[in-house]
Amino acid sequence: MFDEPSFFIQMGYNAGKLGPEIMEKGFADGAILSPADFDKDRNVELSREFHRAGGTVLFDPQFYIPRADRPSLSSYDYFGDHGGHDFDTAEVGGNLNEVCTQILAVQDDLDVDAYVSPARTLDTFSSTKVDEWLDYTEAFIEVVDDQGRDIPVLASLPLEGVPLNDKDQRDTLLNRITGLDPDGFYVSVEFDKADRYPLTGVSNIYSYLELLNTLRKNQYDIIVGHTHHVAHLFMGIGINAFASGHYNNLRAFDQRRWKPDDGQGGGRLVTKYYSDKLLNELRLDPDLDLMYQKGGFDMDRIRMNSPYDAPLFNSTDPPSTVGWNFREGAWDHYIWACYQISRQYRGKSLPERFETTMTKIEDAEDLFADVQAEFGMMNEPEGSVFDDWKAALSTMKSDL
């Protein structure tokens, strides 16, 4: 399915216009459509737009939690019959063939290029939870074999990071799920909010990499959803594709996003500039403004020269005052940057990909030290991330 390392736009509501524009410009390989953010008719339109631009289309059924209830979901028969406030484990468990058939029909209506199975999040790896996941996934594969088109099937694997950190639990999970016969896995892992962006903690990172590496060695295609510039590490161990969303939304898997009473609103968004050279972001105010005002630092050392960042670096005004905001700059630039991450690994062998990642981290660490020495403590990035990423990646080297 993935001939070369690829990048997908993880579609949230505000990406309805951004996604097709980015695809038309050739800065993404495809998109993952969402039922929580777009009703069925709009997703049909989006699928056509992405296909016209030559992109690959996937659809994420999002059976992550019980009682998910959002306006767009009512346009999908499978939520009307099996979701919303009537959704509980026992009720769905008795209708696996029916719900999988309805989800398959939606994906055919969207003309997807690979099927994605429904899944409940594995917040524990108990036999009960894993058996439920296996039942869902096996039922979907059987329905595809019986009724579907001859296209790949990706098993959706949404996981909680805490049990993933336990090697015995991780090994047990892998032993169970690798007995299935999908073409690949669509993986998203949820970590504690303090650790997830950027992903920190050597055990968190290593457990994630070890999971992906084991799946890869079992000859599955792998697309990692809900991620960010940590995708460099995933690309370095040979995964096929990753997905990310606009600005800070949809860069990390978070089950609360699908709860109608999640109460996550109200935070102040801060405009940031993503620098792949730093493997992180700098706030326009105060970080880039400080660099601008102090002078004497070669800004090209952090600049990516995207089609969107000229206003920040070519103006005589401070970066925070040039009108470079979330939609007219930051989102577009970030999505473009993700696409560039995938391109850095094309045409490379696995050892070459690994060394590319390690070099990226080391160069970013050196640049961060120079920035810190010149300007003092910056709001972004966090210096500890480089040690964590190098340590986790180094531990993986003998397993590749």
Residue 82, pLDDT above cutoff 50: yes
- The correct answer on CATH 3.40.50.300 for the domain covering 6-258 is no
**Which residues contact residue 125 at a Cβ distance below 8 angstroms, ignoring those fewer than 6 apart?**
163, 169, 170, 172, 173
Cα(168)–Cα(197) distance, integer angstroms: 26
Q: How is residue 33 written in tokens?
A: 């459509």
pLDDT value of position 84: 65
Residue 93, pLDDT above cutoff 70: no
Question: Is the distance from CB of 257 to CB of 248 less than 8 angstroms?
Answer: no
DSSP letter assigned to residue 29:
S
Question: Is the distance from CB of 123 to CB of 67 less than 8 angstroms?
Answer: no
pLDDT value of position 67: 61
pLDDT digits (tens, 9 = 90+) for 35-74: 988 999 999 999 999 999 999 999 999 888 766 667 888 8
184 three-state secondary structure: strand
Answer whether 0.85 is exceeded by the pTM: yes
Q: At 95, is the pLDDT very low, low, confident or very high (cuts 50, 70, 90)? A: confident
Phi/psi at 185 (5° precision): -130, 140
392 three-state secondary structure: helix
Shortest CA distance to 285 belongs to which of 259, 320, 254?
320
pLDDT digits (tens, 9 = 90+) for 153-162: 999 999 999 9
For Cα atoms 119, 259, 271, give the angle at the middle one, nearest 5 degrees: 105
Shortest CA distance to 277 belongs to which of 310, 258, 302, 251?
302
C-alpha to C-alpha distances, 291 to 205, 214, 370, 380, nearest whole angstrom? 31, 43, 12, 13
pLDDT value of position 266: 46
Q: Where are the domains of the chain?
A: 6-258, 272-399
pLDDT digits (tens, 9 = 90+) for 205-246: 999 999 999 999 999 999 999 999 999 999 999 999 999 997
As a whole number, the mean pLDDT across the chain is 90
Cα(397)–Cα(400) distance, integer angstroms: 6
Question: Is the distance from CB of 207 to CB of 164 less than 8 angstroms?
Answer: yes
Residue 172, pLDDT above cutoff 60: yes
Rounded to 10 deg, the angle between the 384-396 and 202-217 helix axes is: 30
Residue 33, pLDDT above cutoff 80: yes
